[in-house]
Amino acid sequence: MSKETTSDNEETNIANEKAETEKKASSKKPTKKASTASKKKKASSKTTKKSKKTDVVVETEEYSTGNQAEINIGTIGHVDHGKSTLVKALTGTFPDTHSEELKRGITIRLGYADTDTRYCPKCTGTNKWSTETTCPKCQAETKVSRRISFVDAPGHEVLMATLLTGAAIFDGAILVIAANEFCPQAQTREHLAAMDAVGIQNIIIVQNKIELVTEEQALESYNDIIKFVKGTVAEGAPIIPMSAIHGVNLDLLIETIEKIIKTPKRDEKVEPRMFVARSFEVNKPGTIPEDLLGGVLGGSIICGILKEGDDIEIRPGIRSGRKVESIKTKVISIHAGTLGKVKEAKPGGLMSIGTDIDPAVTKADSLVGNIIGKPDKLPPVIEYIELSINLMDFVVGLDKKTKVKNLAVGEQLMLNVWTAITLGQISSLKGKNITVKLDRLVCAEKGTRVAISRRLEGRFRLIGFGLVQ
Ligand SMILES: Nc1nc2c(ncn2[C@@H]2O[C@H](COP(=O)(O)OP(=O)(O)O)[C@@H](O)[C@H]2O)c(=O)[nH]1
Ligand SMILES: [Mg+2]
Ligand SMILES: [Zn+2]
């Protein structure tokens, strides 16, 4: 009984997180203008059109000519260490736009913002890097290197599940550590362990709020950081002293991003696959039925290309009890991050697709965890997942050092499978392999990396990862 209660609590936590998103989602810019015109008139590249069939004036959003973001970089680290401020310094946008979030002072959901990294043709070395169209050093016109999406992680411990969902689409991460606090703080450790569990290798450390400490304290904090990352996935990662709020060393950070977090080689010829990290509806209350826009799904394409007009399938799809039914629909419109509307999307930064499915189905993140691809080309939906496990020595996120005990048959776990989160019970255990009966069915295939958490001291704590067999 107690097990069920605890699982309910965790579900409530996840559900609460999701509930926070609805308002935010509906105020989100990208899909707002993807009007009915895009449904009626495919692939139009004109700006505004008068619909001939109806007498209504319909606005068609112009297609963006800019380049889509090539990678997603996550910002991770303890609450208040300056992650959102850093994203603001890089992109000009403070990612916490939701008023509830501002009130609570924490990033509840994954926020995001895009920027172009740019270089000055006249300056040399670190000096040439910025995100400005005119060089801040010499005022020359700068050139675009590439476009990057920043995914701003929630900094509160309740939101670890959200972080793990986001991490499924990270190409690299910036770990923000405040120089004026002891390192490591609880979520500094927990977030870094999450990168390890999900398999994120490219990490840059920002030692933030450097202007608040003396040189001596800065050095002490630096040594603490070195000690802390030893033996972790961030060992040897560059450490950049910064003042995010004053933009100090921003050029050095951008240069380091360009060097360390390279755009991976993407195979665009394979079947497309998109991970859904958010889902929402964009209609304002009171919209008349003819004007209702279909449900919107946000996330990243991992491989292949999705085009406007493509037939797609969403798996596992709609849940009812333990059953799921996949959704077959069409790509009505595509928005690439903050860039705007595009005709096709490639692997990389955050994007969203408008579909013709009932918006009630996509509302409030209800389709997070799904995978999108061409019909009948997606990995299977599974109820039992077999994992070869890799447990950590110590539990992260707890104040005192606690050894990770062995798993046991019947034990309840929380699993993150790509962007999907599910609870499940261990149904069998043989050596390093476990089979887990999942509460919610997920899409997975051999080799998928799954983060494993177990309930400890009232919350799910990350204890390791497993590879699907
Ligand atoms: N002094 C100083 N304050 C900073 C700096 N970066 C962020 N802050 C402040 O630290 C607080 C938390 O920043 P925020 O970006 O919301 O942290 P997050 O929780 O990690 O996203 C805010 O009051 C920021 O203004 C910095 O470089 N120097
Ligand atoms: Mg924040
Ligand atoms: Zn210059």
Residue with the smallest CA separation from ligand 1 atom 23 is 80
The runs of H, that is alpha helices, within 168-287 are: 186-198, 215-229, 250-260
State the ligand closest to the CA atom of 143: 3
Residues 142 and 274 grouped into a single domain: no
| Residue, of 176 and 28, whose pLDDT is higher | 176
CB 115 within 8 A of CB 92: yes
Q: How confident is the model at residue 157 (pLDDT cuts 50, 70, 90)?
A: low
Phi-psi category of 187—alpha, beta or left, where left has phi over 0 and alpha has psi -120 to 50? alpha
Which of 260, 294, 322 is a domain's end point?
Answer: 260
Chosen domain end from 260, 289, 312: 260
Q: Side chain identity at 90, as an amino acid letter?
A: L
Cα of 387 from ligand 2 centre, angstroms:
34
The count of other CB atoms within 10 Å of the CB of residue 420 is: 23
The reported pLDDT for the residue numbered 2 is 36
Model pLDDT for residues 310-340, shown as the tens digit of each residue: 999 999 999 887 789 999 999 999 998 777 8
Q: pLDDT value at position 19?
A: 38
pLDDT at 155: 62
Q: Is ligand 1 within 6 A of the CB of residue 191?
A: no
107-121, 167-181, 317-331: which has the minimum mean pLDDT? 107-121
Residue 16 has a pLDDT of 38
* Orientation angle between helical segments 2-19 and 160-167, nearest 10 degrees: 70
Same domain, 280 and 403: no
Q: What is the mean pLDDT of residues 70-90?
A: 94
pLDDT one-digit tens code per residue, 355-396: 999 888 888 788 989 999 999 999 999 999 999 999 999 888
pLDDT at 308 over 70: yes
Per residue in 30-50, pLDDT (tens digit) is: 333 333 333 333 333 333 333
Mutate to test the pocket of ligand 1, among 80, 110, 211 (most ligand atoms within 8 A of CB): 80
* Per-residue pLDDT, 257: 98
Per DSSP, 283 falls in state P
Are 181 and 327 members of one domain? no
Q: Which of 342, 373, 404 is where one domain is finished?
A: 373
Question: Does residue 60 fall inside a structural domain?
Answer: no
Residue 354 counted as domain residue: yes
Any atom of ligand 1 within 6 Å of the Cβ of 244: yes
CB atoms within 10 A of CB 400: 7
Choose among 75, 154, 176, 68: nearest CA to 114.
Answer: 68
pLDDT one-digit tens code per residue, 245-299: 999 999 999 999 999 999 998 877 899 999 998 888 888 888 888 888 889 999 9
- Top-confidence residue, 429 or 10: 429
Shared domain check, 202 and 132: yes
Q: Are residues 187 and 142 in the same domain?
A: yes
| Spatial contact of 12 and 92, defined as CB atoms under 8 Å apart | no
Residue 418 sits in the same domain as residue 359 = no
CATH number of the domain to which 105 belongs: 3.40.50.300
Q: Determine whether the shortest distance from the Cβ of 303 to ligand 1 is under 6 A.
A: no
Q: What pLDDT does residue 60 have?
A: 63
Q: Tell me, what CATH number does 31's domain have?
A: 2.40.30.10
**Domain membership flag for residue 347:** yes
pLDDT digits (tens, 9 = 90+) for 401-442: 889 999 999 999 999 999 999 999 999 999 999 999 999 999
Least confident among 55-64, 113-122, 169-178, 445-454: 55-64
Cα distance between residue 82 and residue 64, in whole Å: 31
Which of 85, 209, 210 has most ligand 1 atoms within 8 Å of its beta carbon, as the pocket-test mutant?
85
82 CB less than 6 Å from ligand 1? yes
Q: How far is the CA of 91 from the centre of ligand 1 (A)?
A: 15
For 285, counting Cβ atoms within 10 Å of its Cβ (0-12 exposed, 13-18 middle, 19+ buried), the class is exposed
Distance CA 298, CA 278 (A): 5
**Residue 137 near residue 125 (C-beta atoms within 8 A):** no
Residue 255, domain member (yes or no):
yes
Three-state DSSP at 377 gives coil
Question: Domain range spanning residue 119?
Answer: 71-260
Residue 340 and residue 299 in one domain:
yes
pLDDT at res. 166: 86
Q: Are residues 280 and 353 in the same domain?
A: yes
Treating both helix axes as pointing N-terminal to C-terminal, what angle do 160-167 and 186-198 enclose, rounded to 10 degrees? 30
- 174 Cα to the center of ligand 1, angstroms: 15
- 205/290 same-domain check: no
Q: Do 296 and 278 have their domain in common?
A: yes
217 vs 180: CA distance, rounded Å:
8
pLDDT score of 334: 95
Give the model confidence (pLDDT) of 186-232 as tens digits.
889 989 999 998 999 999 999 999 999 999 999 999 999 999 999 99
Residues 80 and 40 in one domain: no
Contacts of 208 (CB under 8 A, 6+ apart): 81, 82, 85, 86, 176, 177, 178, 179, 242, 243, 244
Q: What is the pLDDT of residue 158?
A: 60
What digits encode the pLDDT tens for the residues 83-97? Answer: 999 999 999 988 765
Considering only CA atoms, which of 74, 245, 244, 80 is closest in space to residue 155? 80
Mean pLDDT estimate for the chain: 84
Q: Is the CB of 209 under 6 A from ligand 1?
A: yes
Q: What is the pLDDT of residue 54?
A: 35
8 Å CB contact between 96 and 107: yes
Asked whether residue 1 is assigned to any structural domain, the reply reads no
Domain membership flag for residue 62: no
pLDDT at 10 over 90: no
416, part of any domain: yes
Q: Is the CB of 85 under 6 A from ligand 1?
A: yes
107 lines ligand 1 (CB under 6 A): yes
Alpha-carbon torsion 361, 362, 364, 368, what sign? positive
Length of the chain (residues) = 469
Percent of the chain at pLDDT exceeding 90: 62
**241 Cβ inside 6 Å of ligand 1:** no
- Please give the tally of structural domains in the chain: 3
Q: Which chain residues have CB less than 5 Å from ligand 3, an ion? A: 120, 122-123, 135, 137-138, 140
Tell me the mean pLDDT in the region 90-105.
Answer: 63
pLDDT score of 76 more than 50: yes
Whole-angstrom distance, CA of residue 422 vs CA of residue 442: 8
Instruction: Measure 126 CA to ligand 3 centroid, in angstroms.
Output: 10
Handedness of CA 272, 277, 283, 289 (dihedral sign): positive
Residues 326 and 317: beta-carbon distance below 8 Å: yes
Q: Which of 409, 304, 310 has its CA nearest to residue 355? A: 310
Nearest CA to ligand 1 atom 13: 82
CA distance 41 to 59: 11
Q: Is the CB of 60 under 6 A from ligand 1?
A: no
Residue 189, domain member (yes or no) = yes
Q: Are residues 193 and 218 in the same domain?
A: yes
